[in-house]
Structures are given as structure tokens and as C-alpha cells.
Structure 1
Amino acid sequence: MVDQGEQITQAVSIPIIGDGDNGYGNAINVKRTVKGYIRAGFAGVILEDQVSPKACGHTRGRKVVSREEAVMRIKAAVDARKESGSDIVIVARTDSRQAVSVEESLWRSRSLADAGADVLFIDALESKEEMKALCEVYPLVPKMANMLEGGGKTPILSPMELEEIGYKLVVYPLSLMGVSIRAMQDALTAIKGGRMPSPGSMPSFEEIKDILGFNKYYEEEKRYATNISQLTSQSGYSSASSDTYSTQQISEGDKDQKNQSVQDPVVEVFTPEVYNKYAADNSSGPFSGIWSIKLRVKITGRDGFEKLDIQIPAGFLEGITNIVPALGGINIKALLDDADGGGGKVLLDFKDRMGDRIQVFLE
């Protein structure tokens, strides 16, 4: 819960109350739990007086710990807050309404408030009258209501009705889960019947990307773009955001970006930094002069549309594998030796695992 809670609190900018159940043990365990929730970034924690293993408060057979242990759990939570220098809100929940009686739950609520609880919560109250009775216990201490949709023991009231009674907090725990389940059932039924879910039942892909933060990621990519020429594409050849193969050059001086789309038949890519690194000075060696040889790389999608058509120095072929993984492991020196000079020769012609045709020509 602590790990999941940290991910949730980091993903939103509003206060989050975490359910600490029964603290996962005795008062010492409660203390450890609260400190963990504080580190996770929770603004509040709910702690209850059920025994272990605990269960939903609206089911039968509820059992609670003694009054003394229930109070000690809250005192331990308060101590954990003080020791951590935190202001986490402690929500004290009692399940004694179903386990014992209304009177017992009201007595425990007073005692838990005296122990330092910030919010009081009796689960599974069965009428408006019982709910009003809770709100009359220390009226200045906020009360929390649990509206278990679809058949719980507590009457389902609107937020305005709850406020009139005296509640300050309310949870509708099944609303998001319930509508999600029904939406998935409807979508699966449609697909099983050979139909697609109606357009109005789901957001567009652009909306999904915006909700998930794609646009923010794209801005981050632009902000931290490197000064090395990059090919951007989709279909597994690159993780960049462009929908087509293109090249990008950013000069050291002004960082201007120049993009060439696939609509142009040929794009030349030159990288001076890499060029100098690999014997571009015509020094002797097995790869001498390789950068003076040009290759043409062409990729045709399985749908027949051209995805890429570029000219590159032969020495750059191995470096292009981060864009076209299927070219990984190619021995460019052996290919050139076998070609024995002459332009227009086909060095490679094959299909990758995605069905795209990849061709490499000697220019």
C-alpha cells in the first residue's frame, strides 16, 4: 500500500487519504504503518478497530478489538505523527456498530477523539437518526460518511444531504469501480457480437494521450533534444513522437531544427562528429574511405507505402540500428567487399518481423 500510495500521491496535486485498515497489527504496527503513509505523501490515514483478518464493514460477522486496544491504536498514530513532524490527518473508524451496538460505537467515537483523532467515522450506520447521533458527538470534530453504493447498510445520501446532517467528508467507494466494470462489460459484449463500442462511450485517442500526459512528454523531449541528427518514426523503428520517418539536425551554434519528411524521395544525413571519429581523414586501415561511400536505405511498409528513403555514408549503417533494429549485426565491410564497387547494386533486400521490406543499395 505504501508503494502504491506513493505512486498515487505523486500523480495528483490534491490531498489523498489512504486506508490504513486496522494498522496491520497492534499499536506498534500502527505506528510503523502511519510513518510509512507519511513517507508516501498521504494527507490522511484511516485506522479502524477491527480484528485481523479484517473485512468489509457492511458484511456480517464483524469483530472488533477491545476498547483499550482501539484507543491505543489512535494514540500510537498520534505519536507517529509527532515523531515524524507531520500534519497527517488521522481518521478514526470504528466497526462496533455492527459488531456490538450503536451505543458502543458512539462511546468509542468519543474516546478516539479524546485520544487525538482528527476525524470520526462509524461504518455501517443503519439510519439517518444514527448518522445524526454521530454528528452530535463533539460537533466541532469533523465526521466522515461511507456511502456504499448498490446495497450497503447505510442510507445513500447526496453530499448536500450529508452536509445538512453534519458530515464534512464522504466517500462513494464503488462509483468509479462500478461504472468501469459496466463500461468494460458493454464493450466486451459489443465486440463479441461483432460490433465496435459506440464512439460516444469512450474518449478519442487524442484525449487519451492528453489524459495520460503524452503532450507533456513531447514537450520534455523537445526540451532535452540532443545535437545529434536523429531519424524519427513509428512502427517500431524509433520511439520519437513523429508519425513518419524524418531527419533532424541541430547545429551547435543556434540549435535550429531542420526536418525533412518522407514525401521527399531522398534525404541526406551527414554527422561530422561521427565522420571524424571513423577515419574520415583517409588514414590507412580496414575501414579507410568507408565514409566516402554512399548507401541508400529504403523501407517499404507491408501496406505498400514508402516509409523511408535516405542516403547515408556507408559507415553510418551500423549506427542506424537504433532507428531500424532489423539492420543490427550487419557486417558492412563484408557487404562492400562482396559488392566489388559499382553503383546501383542491391546489398540487402529482406523483410523484417513486422513485414516491412528493407533494401540497402550501393550508390
Structure 2
Amino acid sequence: MTPTETLRHLLKQDTCHIMPCCFDALSAKLIAQEGYALTFMSGFAASASRIGAPDLGLMSYAEVLDQVRNITDATTIPLIGDGDTGYGNAMNVRRTVAGFAKAGAAAIMIEDQLAPKRCGHTPGKAVVSRDEAFDRVRAAVDERDALRAQDRDILILARTDARHEHGLGEAIERAATFAELGADILFVEAPRSEQEMREVCTSLPGPKMANIVEGGETPDLPNAILHDIGYSIAAYPLSLMAAAMQAMVTTLRAMRDDERPAQMDFADLRARIGFDDYYATSGRYRSSQR
């Protein structure tokens, strides 16, 4: 199956898939090696990793697309790419969807924030009007359908951040219209309690995604409860980035004191990056041994 077909199959299962989010090719590779069924390229983490800057709309479409390509080249599990606001008007949204599909993403997230967008759990975010939000999703769905006619496939994850500025009712109404327009997965960002999460899932059709930011506004609930609430995917956008940054800071501080903290064994490091596979394959060719 293609990555999109695999994702479609996963969404039909009666479970809530734990989805650690990646930020580059190596983090995606580790997620796949540990047996996770899918991943998401976190805009927050990718911006931090690629340009060392906050997720405030600073990464360009070309930079994001290049990051998607690197990740899909490194792993075969389905990748959901963060398409932000689509990088412009409805026609830009269509181009963004087409670009992500060509790069190998199984799905793309399009949101209703006002550009430049912000991380969903940080202050200052605002959303566009209903009409503009609906146009973005309509354009994304139209491009998805046009791609299918060309034997290319991608799913649309439609996100609303309206809870922050206009309340949960507005967010649910927007998401319901996203579903009517043909979105494949719905994402109401930052509900603030388990009750709000349940209201989201009972009010909306189809697969829903929860976004769990440690220390963020949405409760960090056990996966069994998320499944009971009605979520199909639980995304953890910052867990790996935070763990990697903490490990690097700890190591840097220890090295300053001439200490060597525990770290991954060199043989395991080489194997996970792919040295062993490379040598096994290159052994078939004489010239590669020189």
C-alpha cells in the first residue's frame, strides 16, 4: 500500500494511534524503528531544528517542503505534513497540497489561523473569517480530488484554532463545515478540559486528532482515555524535540566539567543511522569496497 492508503487503513481501526512527531529525517527514522505506525512533521519542532527559530511563520514554503522530502526519503511510514495556512490564498493552498503530495506526504494539515501563524499553544494567535477558512479547506479538497484523478493521493487534515479567540462552539461549527466540505481528518486545537475534548468528538464526524503538548492547554490524558473519548490519533508534537534538547544541554554542561554522561552505544548509533545496512548492500559491488 502507498503511505496514504496505509494511513486510510489506520484511521479505520478502532484505536487511538500514538503519533510521536518528527522534525527531521533522523527523528522520523527513529520513530519508525521503534514500531510506530505513523508520524507528523511538527512545524514547531521543524522550525527549531532547521532554522533555529520559533514557529511564527518564519519558515518558507520551500523550506518546509524540503523538510518533508527529507523525511519521506528516510522512512516509509505515513507522514502528515504541516501545511500551516497554505502559504497564501486558495490557489496557494492548492499548490501547497500538490507539493506535499509530490513529496510523498500521506496527508497535509491546513489551518484557519491568520498568517503569519503561531504555535497553537502560544499567545497572540487569531483566525481568519469563516469564509476564508472554508475557502482554504475547499481548495485543499479540490486539489486532493484533482490529484486522485492523476493517480496521486493525499488526505486533508483540517485544523481550527477558533477555540482560543471565539470559544469551543465556534471551533466545532467550523470543523463540522470542514467535514461537509470533504476534509478527511478533523483537528480542533487546544480544548481545555476532558469535557471539551468529549464535546469535540461527540459533535463531529469521522476521524479526529488530539494534540498533546506537555505543559500546554489540552489535558495530557492516557491513550486509553483518548480512545474512549473518540480520538483516532494522539499527536505529541514536542516530546522528541524536548527530549533531544534536554539531552544535548545536559551533555554540553557535563562536558564543560570534563564529565561524560551516559549516551547511546556507538554500535547502536551506527546501526540506527544506517551504516550496517549500507555496508551490507554495498558488499554486492566490488567498486564500493575501494
Equivalent residue number for residue 172 of structure 1: 236
Q: What is aligned with 2:219? A: 155
Q: What's the CA shift for 1:219?
A: 2.2
Matches within 5 A, 1:273-292: none
**One-letter amino acid of the structure 1 residue matched with residue 192 of structure 2:** E
**Higher strand residue share:** 1
Q: How many positions carry a matched residue from both structures?
A: 224
Seq. identity, %: 46
Name the counterpart of 2:253. 189
Structure 2 CA distance for aligned equivalents of residues 185 and 126 of structure 1: 31
RMSD between aligned alpha carbons? 1.5
**Which residue of 1 is the match for residue 272 of structure 2?**
211
Q: Which residue of 2 aligns with 1:20?
A: 83
Q: Distance in 1 between matches of 2:244 and 2:268?
A: 17
Q: How does 1:317-328 map to 2 (within 5 A)?
A: none
Please tell me whether residue 50 in structure 1 is matched to residue 116 in structure 2: no
Aligned twin of 1:352: none
CA distance in 2, matches of 1:158, 1:27: 38
Q: Distance in 1 between matches of 2:153 and 2:198?
A: 28
Ranges in structure 2 where 5+ consecutive residues have no aligned partner: 1-63
- Quote how far apart the aligned CAs of 1:147 are: 0.4
> Counterparts of 1:62 and 1:101 in 2: how far apart (Å)?
13
Opposite residue 211 of structure 1, the aligned amino acid is R
1:138 Cα shift? Answer: 3.3
Aligned mates of 1:217, 1:58 — CA distance in 2: 41
CA distance in 2, matches of 1:3, 1:185: 27
CA contact (8 A) 1:95 1:123 kept: yes
What stretches of structure 1 of length at least 5 have no aligned partner? 233-239, 241-363
**1:332-347 paired onto structure 2 within 5 Å:** none
**Quick check: 2:107–2:155 contact (8 Å CA) kept in 1?**
yes
Q: What does 1:52-201 align with in structure 2 at a 5 Å threshold?
A: 52-85=115-148, 86-139=152-205, 141-149=206-214, 151-198=215-262
Deviation of 1:57 (Å): 1.5
Q: Deviation at 1:110?
A: 0.7
Q: How much has 1:221 moved relative to structure 2?
A: 2.4
Q: Secondary structure at the match of 2:145?
A: helix
Name the CA distance, whole Å, in 2 between partners of 1:57 and 1:220.
Answer: 44
> Which deviations, in whole Å up to 9, do the C-alpha atoms of 1:49-100 show, x marking residues without a partner?
0011110122222211111111111111111112112331111100000021
Partner of residue 348, structure 1: none
Contact 1:146 1:172 survives alignment (8 Å): yes
Matches within 5 A, 1:215-234: 215-226=276-287
Query: CA separation in 2, counterparts of 1:126 and 1:204?
Result: 41
Which secondary structure state, in structure 2, belongs to the residue aligned with residue 162 of structure 1?
A: helix
- Partner Cα separation in structure 1 for residue 146 and residue 92 of structure 2: 15
Supply the distance in 1 between the matched residues of 2:284 and 2:82 (Cα, whole angstroms): 39
Deviation at 1:116, TM superposition (A): 0.6
| Cα deviation code 1:207-230 (max 9, x no counterpart) | 11111111121123221214xxx9
**1:176: how far off?**
0.3
* Per-residue Cα deviation, 1:113-164 (whole angstroms, up to 9, x for no partner): 001111111111111111111101234x111000011x21111112211001
Query: Which amino acid in structure 2 is aligned with residue 222 of structure 1?
Result: G
Amino acid at match of 1:144: M
Instruction: Specify which structure has the higher proportion of helix.
Output: 2
- Contact kept, 8 Å, 1:143 with 1:169, in 2: the verdict is yes
Match of 2:57 in 1: none
Mapped contact 1:61–1:99 kept (Cα < 8 A): no
In the other structure, the counterpart of 2:50 is: none
Matched AA of 1:99: E
Contact 2:162 2:168 in 1 (8 A): yes
State the distance in 1 between where 2:269 and 2:249 align.
Answer: 20
Rg (Cα) greater in structure? 1
Give TM-score, length-normalised by structure 1: 0.60
